[in-house]
Amino acid sequence: MRRTKIPVLVVCGPTASGKTGWSLQLAKRFPIEIISADSRQVYRQMDVGTAKATAEEQARVPHHMIDLIDPDQEFSVAQYVDQARPLIEEIDGRGNIPCVVGGTGLYIRALLGGLADTPTGDQILRDRLHQRELEEGVGALHAELASIDPVAAERIHPNNVVRLVRALEVYYVSGRTLTELQEEHQFADQPYRVMKFAPAQERAELYRRIDLRTEQMIAEGLIEEVQGLVGLYSADLKALQTLGYREVLRYLHVPDSHQQMLEEIQTATRQYAKRQLTWFRKEPEIIWVDSLTESGRVLRSIEDFISQQRSGYA
């Protein structure tokens, strides 16, 4: 006799689509605890630029998987899974519902389905691949991966050297493509019952929200946040090479135009949101909902989903 799988709610989707607002509204109706699925919210001292939940929001609803490490520390998807999975058990044990909220699709996929059994890294091979990209130019590794594993190449941006190197490393170490290993893994038993929702925004509305939120971040102190991080660490901090932070850092080095900096962040954020949409639209189990005002259907679905919790054994 085994207990039924733990139910897990997921609120996912692109940046600025309204995920935080959704989760806070759900918390008024259901006993949820939020598990952040954002690859940058794990960093302390990076609050404004990562749109971290405010202290007031965190006081209203328990939040987990934020402020875990300092910005100069490394954090992997495997570490995320190792720390988030016990939280799911603990939240369920308290009689509450784990609600995973965020836009880092890889974190969500790994947390809910586990990581594919891929070979450990080969540092010498990795260094050689990085050197090839430097010598042969941007796009060289992406072209090679496209000839070996076109499905993975389609998912990975040509500028994302870290993921390109990893995909090629997997192939050269194991003789099998990353896509093959991941597809095999999909047939493994899944540990949770999952219901996924995503706010569906018209493209123009999503871009409007992105533009407004960027302006809000600047007003709330994003420039000062970057200055503080540079003072505590250095301008070479890896975490500062991410969306929003890198544009401000460039502005601090060459303070030519505040407006240009703002527009660069907005443009880069729109591009990132497009990539997120591409990722999540390939997840067939996601329920896209126009708004929480359509909540009758949504809330009834969640109630039915939760009502099966602790209903016995399977």
pTM: 0.79
Domain residue spans in the chain? 6-114+188-307, 123-185
Whether 286 and 109 have beta carbons less than 8 Å apart is answered as no
Tokens of 193: 């019952």
pLDDT in tens, 113-153: 866 666 767 888 988 998 998 889 888 999 999 999 999 89
Identity of the residue numbered 36:
S
Asked if pLDDT for residue 2 goes beyond 60, the answer is no
For residue range 57-92, list pLDDT tens digits in order: 999 999 999 999 999 999 998 899 999 999 999 999
Q: Which CATH class is domain 6-114+188-307?
A: alpha beta
Query: How do residues 232-277 score in pLDDT, each as one tens digit?
Result: 999 999 999 999 999 999 999 887 789 999 999 999 999 999 999 9
Mean pLDDT across the chain: 89
CATH for 123-185 is 1.10.20.140
pLDDT at 6 over 80: yes
SS (H, E, C) the chain: CCECCEEEEEEECCCCCCHHHHHHHHHHHCCEEEEECCCCCCECCCCCCCCCCCHHHHHHCCEECCCCECCCCCCCHHHHHHHHHHHHHHHHHCCCEEEEEECCHHHHHHHHHCCCCCCCCCHHHHHHHHHHHHHHCCCHHHHHHHHHCHHHHHHCCCCCHHHHHHHHHHHHHHCCCHHHHHHHHCCCCCCEEEEEEEECCCHHHHHHHHHHHHHHHHHHCHHHHHHHHHHHCCCCCHHHHCCCHHHHHHHHHCCCCHHHHHHHHHHHHHHHHHHHHHHHHCCCCEEEECCHHHHHHHHHHHHHHHHCCCCCEC
Residue 106 has pLDDT above 70, yes or no: yes
∠110-93-60 over CA atoms, to 5°? 85
Q: Do 6-114+188-307 and 123-185 show the same overall fold?
A: no
Confidence of residue 313 (pLDDT cuts 50, 70, 90): very low
What value does the mean pLDDT take over residues 195-200?
92
- The tokens of 47 are what? 């609050």
